[in-house]
């Protein structure tokens, strides 16, 4: 695990894509709510496209008809789910995404930038809701058929700051107590430690352009 702080200053030349990142590459951005994952994933994808890559971007849960239906159910404040049922619904959406979208894209030689993956399930339903994290890892391996990203960027953020960035009404997960979101943050950091060299933790508390520069600068050095 590498921690990348955000530095102040003007824009820097971020260079090209390193040789480590071959034509087929799978990158994941993950982390707590409000960390800017969706915007940063789009910027990372644009940076890759500017360097000649064909890039697929997707989000979890979602990106398939089944996944979007599951997402709507999971995030609806009126939905009442036991923790294990919640975890398994996320895994079902993930299995559909991997089988019908991610593997075909990677097999076709595309780069994939994904907003959330199995690390969210370990953090939110494992550390957050108290399910066994090792069991979640086993179920995730079954749901993904063992598909692992080349690198994971964990965007770290104080949950109070993250939740303050959420626009509009909070969804079913965002509305949970602050202490829950603190456990989730700890869960993401635990996942980063478990992944070792395959993960980079980036301070997402700074201004978005600075966070973006830190993210892309790290991607350029992989």
| CA-CA-CA-CA torsion sign (67, 68, 74, 78) | negative
Q: Report the DSSP beta bridge partners of residue 15.
A: none
pLDDT confidence of residue 192: 98
Calpha distance 217→172 (Å, rounded): 34
The tens digit of pLDDT for each residue in 115-147 reads: 999 999 999 999 999 999 999 999 999 999 999
Calpha distance 38→126 (Å, rounded): 23
Pairing of strands 55-59, 2-4: unpaired
pLDDT confidence of residue 6: 60
Say what the pTM is: 0.91
pLDDT confidence of residue 153: 98
Question: CA-CA distances (angstroms) from residue 197 to 14, 42, 43, 80, 170?
Answer: 21, 24, 23, 38, 34
Task: Please tell me the chain's helix, strand, coil percentages from 3-state DSSP, rounded to the nearest 5.
Answer: 50, 15, 35
The tens digit of pLDDT for each residue in 2-46 reads: 666 665 443 344 444 454 456 679 999 999 999 999 999 999 999
CATH number of 2-220: 3.40.50.300
Domain edges within the chain = 2-220
pLDDT confidence of residue 23: 60
The tens digit of pLDDT for each residue in 148-206 reads: 999 999 999 999 999 999 888 999 999 999 999 999 999 999 999 999 999 999 999 99
First to last CA, the chain: 13
pLDDT confidence of residue 222: 87
The tens digit of pLDDT for each residue in 102-112 reads: 999 999 999 99
The tens digit of pLDDT for each residue in 54-105 reads: 999 999 999 999 999 999 999 999 999 999 999 999 999 999 999 999 999 9
């Amino acid at each position: 695990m590498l921690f990348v702080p955000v530095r102040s200053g003007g824009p820097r030349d971020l260079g090209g894509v390193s040789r480590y990142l071959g034509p087929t590459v799978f990158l994941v951005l993950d982390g707590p709510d409000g960390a800017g994952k969706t915007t940063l994933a789009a910027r990372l994808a644009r940076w890759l496209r500017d360097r000649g890559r064909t890039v697929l971007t997707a989000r979890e849960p979602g990106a398939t008809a089944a996944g979007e239906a599951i997402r709507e159910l999971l995030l609806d404040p009126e939905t009442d789910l036991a923790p294990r049922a919640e975890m398994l619904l996320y895994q079902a959406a993930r299995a559909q995404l991997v089988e019908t979208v991610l593997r075909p894209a990677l097999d076709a030689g595309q780069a994939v930038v994904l907003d959330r993956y199995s690390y969210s399930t370990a953090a939110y339903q494992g550390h957050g809701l108290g399910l066994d994290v090792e069991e979640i890892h086993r179920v995730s391996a079954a749901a993904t058929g063992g598909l692992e990203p080349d690198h994971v960027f964990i965007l770290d953020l104080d949950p109070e700051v993250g939740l303050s960035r959420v626009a509009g009404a909070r969804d079913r997960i965002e509305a949970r107590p602050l202490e829950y979101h603190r456990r989730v943050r700890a869960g993401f950091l635990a996942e980063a430690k478990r992944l070792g060299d395959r993960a980079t933790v980036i301070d997402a508390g700074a201004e978005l352009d600075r966070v973006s520069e830190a993210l892309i600068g790290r991607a350029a050095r992989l």
